[in-house]
C-alpha cells in the first residue's frame, strides 16, 4: 500500500497497523484516534467528514472518552473502519479534508483507551514460571498443575494506568531475611514485569464457556503491559491465595490497541505442549504471535540501557487457551476486560522479562550504561518497554509503555 502521507520506514505505526486509542485534540475534545507515522487520525473529524457514511452515528460512536462502545460492536466493524482508513490514506492525491482530520502526534494528548472492567493476569511463560519457582521454591520449581492449565489470578482494574504515569514505590509488610516477624517498610525489591495484554471486544454469557475455536473472535486487540511488582511484599503474602498487594499498586498499559487483524501476518507456531492439554484447550493451527519485545532502564539523568530482549512466541499458553480456560467454568467476559499474559521470559538469561530473573533474586546485579548496577529498581529509574512485529517492510508496532519510580511516602 502506498500513501500520500510520509511515514518513516521504522515507524511502529505503518499503514498496515492502524491501532486505536483515545486522544484529546488541541481544542480539548476527547475521542477515538488512530496513529499513522508521526500523525494521528482524529476519528471524530473523519466521521464528521463522512469518511465512514452515516455521519451522526459515527460521530456519536467515536466522540467518547473510551473505546468501550466502539469495540463492543465487534471485530468486523473495526475491520471495516481500518480498511476505510487505508483506502483514504491510499487515495491517488492528497484528500481535501486531510488537514481537518490529521494532527501531528505531538499536538494531541493520549488517554487510557478503555475503561477496564475486570483484569486477569496469567502466568503463561514456562521459562518465567520455572525461574521464579527456582528462587521461591528451589526443591519444587514448577508445580504439577502448571503444564495442565494456564494459571492466572484476578487482579485489580482500578490501578491500571497509562504510559508515562509515575509509579510511587509502595510500602507494605516485609519479612526480613532470618526473621519470623514482619516489618512495615517501603519495598526494597521493586520490579517490572514485561507482558502483553489482550482486550476483550465481545461479550460472553454467564454460564456459557467460550469454545477455544471461537476465542479469538472475543479478542479485540493487544497492548503492552508492565505489571509492576514488589517482590519482598509478594514473597511474604502470596501463600496461600496468590498475589495481592505486591502487585495491585499499579500496572501500566500502552495507549494504542493493536488489532488482532493487524497482527495476522505475524502468527506463528507455539511451543510443543507436553503433556497434550485436555480437549477444551486443544486448537489446531498457529495461535501464537511473533512480536519482538524489549525493556530498557533509564536512570535519573543517565542514558538508557536495554536490559532484556524477548518475544511473545515463547509463551507456552496461547491467548485462545487462556480465554477458553478462563470461561470453562461459565465465567463471563465483557468488552473492556483486560487479560495479561504473565511475564514473558525467553530461554536465555538476556531474554528474561523481570529484574527478579535478570539479576537472579539479587545475586547477579546487572550493569547499566552509566556504570551503575541494579538488582531491583531505584527511585528515579524509568522503565521503558517496546514491542513490534516485523517481516520485511511490513512493520506493526505497539509504541511504548514507560513509568518513572517516585520515592515512597511512608505512613510513619
Ligand atoms: Ca504478572
pLDDT one-digit tens code per residue, 34-63: 999 999 999 999 999 999 999 999 999 999
353 preceded by a cis bond (ω within 30 of 0): no
Give ∠ CA 176-178-182 in degrees, rounded to 5: 35
Q: What mean pLDDT do residues 354-383 have?
A: 98
Under 8 Å CB-to-CB from 356, ≥6 apart: which residues?
131, 132, 135, 189, 191, 229, 231, 376
> What is the 359 CA–ligand 1 centroid distance (Å)?
17
Length of the chain in residues, anyone? 412
> What is the 379 CA–ligand 1 centroid distance (Å)?
21
Q: What domains lie within the chain, and their CATH numbers?
A: 21-110 (2.30.30.230), 119-406 (3.90.850.10)
Under 8 Å CB-to-CB from 365, ≥6 apart: which residues?
359, 373, 374, 375
Q: Quote the pTM value.
A: 0.97
Q: What mean pLDDT do residues 393-405 have?
A: 97
Q: What mean pLDDT do residues 230-258 have?
A: 96
Give the cell for residue 47: 466521521
Instruction: Judge whether residue 220 has pLDDT over 90.
Output: yes
CA dihedral 133, 139, 144, 149 (to 10 degrees): 0
Q: CB-side exposure of 232: number of CA atoms within 13 Å?
A: 22
Under 8 Å CB-to-CB from 54, ≥6 apart: which residues?
none
Q: What mean pLDDT do residues 86-111 have?
A: 92
Give the cell for residue 243: 498475589
Q: What mean pLDDT do residues 176-198 have?
A: 97
pLDDT of residue 204: 98
Q: What mean pLDDT do residues 321-325 have?
A: 98
**Per-residue confidence at 1, pLDDT binned at 50, 70, 90?**
confident
Q: Compute the distance between CA of residue 72 and CA of residue 57 in angstroms, rounded to an integer.
A: 15
Instruction: Judge whether residue 8 has pLDDT over 60.
Output: yes
Percent of the residues in the chain that have a pLDDT greater than 70, as a whole number: 99
Strand ranges in 46-188 using DSSP code E only, listed in sequence order = 102-104, 109-111, 119-122, 152-154, 160-162, 167-168, 171-174, 183-186
For 273-316, write each residue's pLDDT tens digit: 999 999 999 999 999 999 999 999 999 999 999 999 999 999 99
Q: Compute the distance between CA of residue 12 and CA of residue 398 in angstroms, rounded to an integer.
A: 6
> What is the 342 CA–ligand 1 centroid distance (Å)?
4
Q: What mean pLDDT do residues 115-128 have?
A: 97
Q: What mean pLDDT do residues 221-236 have?
A: 97
Instruction: Judge whether residue 410 has pLDDT over 80.
Output: no
> What is the 192 CA–ligand 1 centroid distance (Å)?
9
Is residue 97 within 8 A of residue 105, CB to CB? The reply is no
Q: Which residues pair with 390 in a beta bridge?
A: 395
CA dihedral 391, 197, 338, 358 (to 10 degrees): -170
Q: Compute the distance between CA of residue 225 and CA of residue 119 in angstroms, rounded to an integer.
A: 12
**Per-residue confidence at 324, pLDDT binned at 50, 70, 90?**
very high
Question: What residues are labeled active site?
Answer: 128
Is residue 165 within 8 A of residue 403, CB to CB? The reply is yes
**Per-residue confidence at 96, pLDDT binned at 50, 70, 90?**
confident
> What is the 343 CA–ligand 1 centroid distance (Å)?
5
Instruction: Judge whether residue 412 has pLDDT over 90.
Output: no
Q: What mean pLDDT do residues 135-140 have?
A: 86
Report which secondary-structure segment, H or E, holds 219. Answer: strand 219-226
Is residue 50 within 8 A of residue 20, CB to CB? The reply is no
- Let me know if 189 is exposed, middle or buried by CB neighbors in 10 A (0-12, 13-18, 19+): buried
**Per-residue confidence at 411, pLDDT binned at 50, 70, 90?**
low
pLDDT of residue 94: 85
For 190-211, write each residue's pLDDT tens digit: 999 999 999 999 999 999 999 9
> What is the 219 CA–ligand 1 centroid distance (Å)?
19
**Per-residue confidence at 93, pLDDT binned at 50, 70, 90?**
confident
> What is the 71 CA–ligand 1 centroid distance (Å)?
25
> What is the 373 CA–ligand 1 centroid distance (Å)?
24
What's the Cα-to-Cα distance from 14 to each of 90, 338, 356, rounded to whole Å?
A: 12, 25, 35
Report which secondary-structure segment, H or E, holds 135. Answer: helix 126-136
Nearest to 141 by CA among 153, 126, 161, 155: 126
Percent of the residues in the chain that have a pLDDT greater than 90, as a whole number: 94
pLDDT of residue 129: 96
pLDDT of residue 269: 95
Eight-class DSSP state of 215: G
For 159-171, write each residue's pLDDT tens digit: 999 999 999 999 9
Alpha helices in 258-364 (DSSP H): 260-263, 319-327, 355-358
Taking all residues of the chain, what is their mean pLDDT, rounded to a whole number? 96
Eight-class DSSP state of 52: T
Amino acid at each position: 500500500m502506498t500513501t500520500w502521507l510520509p511515514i518513516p520506514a521504522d515507524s511502529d505505526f505503518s499503514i498496515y497497523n492502524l491501532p486505536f486509542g483515545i486522544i484529546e485534540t488541541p481544542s480539548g475534545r476527547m475521542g477515538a484516534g488512530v496513529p499513522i507515522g508521526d500523525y494521528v487520525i482524529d476519528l471524530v473529524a473523519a466521521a464528521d467528514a463522512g469518511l465512514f457514511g452515516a455521519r451522526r452515528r459515527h460521530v456519536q460512536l467515536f466522540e467518547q472518552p473510551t473505546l468501550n462502545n466502539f469495540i463492543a460492536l465487534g471485530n468486523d466493524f473495526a475491520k471495516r473502519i481500518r480498511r476505510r482508513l487505508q483506502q483514504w490514506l491510499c487515495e491517488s492525491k492528497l484528500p481535501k479534508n486531510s488537514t481537518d482530520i490529521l494532527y501531528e502526534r505531538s499536538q494531541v494528548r493520549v488517554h487510557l483507551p478503555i475503561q477496564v472492567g475486570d483484569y486477569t493476569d496469567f502466568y503463561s511463560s514456562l521459562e518465567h514460571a520455572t525461574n521464579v519457582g527456582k528462587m521461591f521454591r528451589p526443591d519444587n520449581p514448577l508445580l504439577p498443575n502448571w503444564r495442565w492449565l494456564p494459571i492466572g489470578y484476578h487482579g485489580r482494574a482500578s490501578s491500571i494506568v497509562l504510559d508515562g504515569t509515575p509509579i510511587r514505590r509502595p510500602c507494605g509488610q516485609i519479612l526480613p531475611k532470618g526473621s519470623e516477624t514482619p516489618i512495615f517498610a517501603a519495598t526494597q525489591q521493586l520490579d517490572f514485569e514485561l507482558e502483553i495484554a489482550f482486550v476483550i471486544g465481545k461479550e460472553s454469557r454467564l454460564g456459557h464457556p467460550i469454545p477455544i475455536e471461537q476465542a479469538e473472535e472475543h479478542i479485540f486487540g493487544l497492548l503492552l503491559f508492565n505489571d509492576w511488582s514488589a517482590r519482598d511484599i509478594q514473597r511474604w503474602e502470596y501463600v496461600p491465595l496468590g498475589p495481592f498487594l505486591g502487585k495491585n499498586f499499579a500496572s501500566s498499559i500502552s495507549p494504542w490497541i493493536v488489532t488482532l487483524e493487524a497482527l495476522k501476518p505475524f502468527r506463528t507456531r507455539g511451543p510443543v505442549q507436553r503433556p497434550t492439554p485436555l480437549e477444551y484447550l486443544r486448537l489446531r493451527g498457529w495461535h501464537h504471535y511473533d512480536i519482538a519485545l524489549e525493556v530498557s532502564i533509564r536512570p535519573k539523568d543517565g542514558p538508557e540501557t536495554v536490559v532484556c530482549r524477548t518475544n511473545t512466541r515463547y509463551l507456552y499458553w496461547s491467548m485462545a487457551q487462556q480465554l477458553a480456560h478462563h470461561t470453562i467454568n461459565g465465567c463471563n467476559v465483557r468488552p473492556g476486560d483486560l487479560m495479561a499474559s504473565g511475564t514473558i521470559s525467553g530461554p536465555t538469561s538476556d531474554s528474561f522479562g523481570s529484574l527478579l530473573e535478570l539479576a537472579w533474586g539479587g545475586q547477579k546485579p546487572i550493569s547499566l550504561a552509566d556504570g551503575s548496577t541494579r538488582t531491583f529498581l531505584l527511585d528515579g529509574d524509568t522503565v521503558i518497554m517496546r514491542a513490534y512485529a516485523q517481516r520485511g517492510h511490513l512493520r506493526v508496532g505497539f509504541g511504548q509503555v514507560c513509568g518513572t519510580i517516585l520515592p515512597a511516602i511512608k505512613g510513619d
